């Protein structure tokens, strides 16, 4: 799901205000529509799915609370944020008790509203992915399996790790599916009935990140107009997933370390200690050891978050899974985009299998989504690829090298990394085997 497919309806009887808000939100990439009365809003809701409604509280005939009640009754999947003036905050709080997600006070910093919308967007995106990629204890392996031995071992390791409460660090290149693995671990654990709270540490500024993680009390800093719970508190009883953990500043690492060790936190501006029960999963695509050497990452923090380390191999090292992934994403996006796709041309399959995927599974997913968006028929063909694509197929030399690496690695695993047995099975000398291991960058497990 992209931001431009996230539909927002702004409802306010002041036309100028709706136009201002439309410009602000459209700049963020969202798909924005407006209505100037509760009646008009209900008419638009009846013909189009909106993920979020931003509605003024004080309107004639159908006010914001009445509109909220109608949305709660007929459009349960639609989130509502109330927009109000200072004098109507009590009414907005009442509306939240009736199901509104949040409220925004006119005249406040628009960034407050944008943060709330980003949260709803993340939740909606995750729900959409889960509706297609739903992983339950009865069908985990059905949805997350691999024909590649190394990747299947990684999946099995994640499932075993889910049975403990140990802190888990997931390593892997950008786009390999670190959050999918974190969600798999959560869903396979005994915490699966409680919240899974993902946080992208890179996407948030330092001051915002601290507030998001630990919460704050009203008046603790400029713009803190109300008490807010943090992500750790929201994850109580469940799992918190800190993605891009290597991008957290040292000051926040220190505070995180205390929270992880003691399972307690203090909101910004408060001296009160709050007990929290959470499962911690972190992830990064960076080399943390190098960051530790440079003094950019705390060594004690690293050891605290990495009781179990799971390394996800890149897509180029498990090409045997690409055809299944292609069909999986074709099915996902044909449903989501409401387009019937009956067949994927063999030439397109071969082309996609031989692509390097620097962006890994995320890149493949985006490619399939674009193919379906621009397809004019029920058949996906290589001609559907954009003319300015940057696809680069592997050379024969690269294909042979990759196949050689995979085969040597599989023999090493089968002999439990016995160099003599492996060299005999490959009919090469031990010296040649060592040279191959170095040349192909094969880790020997010792």
Please say if the pLDDT value at position 307 is more than 90. Answer: yes
Q: What is the DSSP letter of 268?
A: B
Residue 134 domain-assigned (yes or no): no
- Beta-carbon neighbour count of residue 193 at 10 Å? 8
What confidence tier does 220 reach under pLDDT thresholds 50, 70, 90?
Answer: confident
DSSP conformational letter for 412: H
Q: What is the mean pLDDT of residues 73-100?
A: 81
Measured CA to CA, the distance from residue 257 to residue 138 in angstroms comes to: 35
| Number of domains, the chain | 4
Whether 190 and 114 map to the same domain: the answer is no
The phi and psi torsions of 349 (rounded to 5 degrees) equal -60, -50
Shared domain for 322 and 414, answered yes or no, is: no
* Average of per-residue pLDDT values in the chain: 85
Bigger pLDDT: 439 or 335? 335
In this prediction, residue 74 has a pLDDT band, given cuts at 50, 70 and 90, of confident
- Rounded to an integer, what distance in angstroms lies between the CA atom of residue 132 and that of residue 24? 32
Answer for the pair 95, 55: CB distance below 8 angstroms, yes or no.
Answer: no
Residue 363: how many other CB atoms lie within 10 Å: 16
Check: CB of residue 203 under 8 Å from CB of residue 161: no
Residue 1 has what pLDDT? 61
pTM of the model: 0.57
Indicate if the pLDDT at residue 218 is higher than 70.
yes
279-284/239-243 β-pairing: parallel
Residue 143: inside a domain, yes or no? no
Same structural domain, 206 and 305: yes
Model pLDDT for residues 54-67, shown as the tens digit of each residue: 999 889 889 999 99
Place of tokens 């943060």: 115
One domain for residues 174 and 288 = yes
Higher pLDDT: 271 or 8? It is 8
In whole angstroms, what is the distance from residue 142 CA to residue 136 CA?
10
**Domain ranges, residue 361:** 316-384
> Interior CA angle at 143 toward 138 and 148, to 5°?
120
CATH code for the domain of 41: 3.40.50.2300
The pLDDT tens digits for 22-46 are 988 888 888 899 999 999 999 999 8
Q: What is the pLDDT of residue 261?
A: 94
- How many CB atoms are closer than 10 A to CB 195? 15
């Amino acid at each position: 799901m992209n931001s431009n497919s996230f539909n927002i309806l702004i409802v306010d009887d002041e036309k100028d205000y709706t136009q201002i808000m439309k410009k602000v939100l459209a700049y963020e990439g969202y798909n924005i529509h407006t209505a100037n009365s509760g009646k008009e809003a209900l008419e638009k809701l009846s013909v189009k799915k909106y993920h979020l409604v931003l509605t003024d509280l004080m309107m004639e005939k159908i006010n914001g609370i009445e509109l909220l009640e109608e949305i709660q009754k007929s459009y349960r999947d639609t989130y509502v944020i109330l927009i109000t003036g200072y004098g109507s905050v009590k009414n907005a709080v009442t509306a939240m008790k009736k199901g509104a997600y949040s409220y925004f006070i006119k005249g406040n910093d628009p960034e407050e509203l944008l943060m709330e919308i980003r949260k709803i967007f993340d939740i909606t995106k995750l729900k959409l992915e889960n509706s297609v990629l739903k992983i339950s204890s009865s069908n985990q392996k059905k949805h997350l399996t691999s024909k590649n031995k190394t990747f299947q071992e990684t999946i099995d390791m994640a499932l075993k790790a889910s049975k403990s409460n140990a802190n888990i660090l997931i390593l892997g290149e950008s786009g390999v599916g670190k959050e999918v693995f974190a969600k798999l671990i959560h869903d396979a654990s005994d915490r699966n009935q409680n919240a899974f709270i993902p946080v992208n540490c890179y996407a948030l500024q330092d001051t915002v990140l601290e507030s998001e993680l630990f919460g704050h009390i009203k008046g603790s800093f400029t713009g803190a107009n109300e008490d807010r719970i943090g992500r750790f508190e929201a994850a109580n009883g469940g799992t918190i997933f800190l993605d891009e953990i290597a991008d957290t500043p040292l000051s926040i690492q220190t505070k995180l370390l205390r929270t992880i060790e003691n399972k307690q936190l203090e909101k910004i501006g408060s001296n009160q200690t709050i007990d929290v029960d959470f499962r911690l999963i972190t992830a990064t695509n960076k080399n943390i050891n190098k960051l530790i050497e440079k003094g950019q990452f705390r060594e004690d923090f690293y050891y605290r978050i990495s009781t179990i380390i799971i390394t996800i191999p890149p897509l180029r090292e498990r090409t045997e899974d690409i055809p299944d992934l292609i069909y999986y994403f074709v099915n996902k996006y044909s449903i989501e985009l409401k387009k019937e796709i009956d067949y994927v041309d063999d030439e397109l399959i071969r082309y996609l299998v031989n692509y390097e995927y620097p962006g890994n599974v995320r890149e493949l997913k985006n490619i399939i989504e674009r193919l379906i968006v621009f397809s004019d028929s029920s058949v996906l063909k290589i001609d559907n690829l954009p003319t300015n694509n940057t696809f680069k197929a592997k050379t024969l030399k690269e294909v042979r090298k990759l196949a050689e690496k995979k085969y040597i690695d599989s023999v090493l695993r089968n002999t439990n990394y016995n160099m003599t047995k492996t060299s005999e099975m490959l009919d090469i000398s031990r010296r040649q085997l060592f040279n191959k291991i170095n040349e192909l960058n094969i880790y020997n497990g010792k």
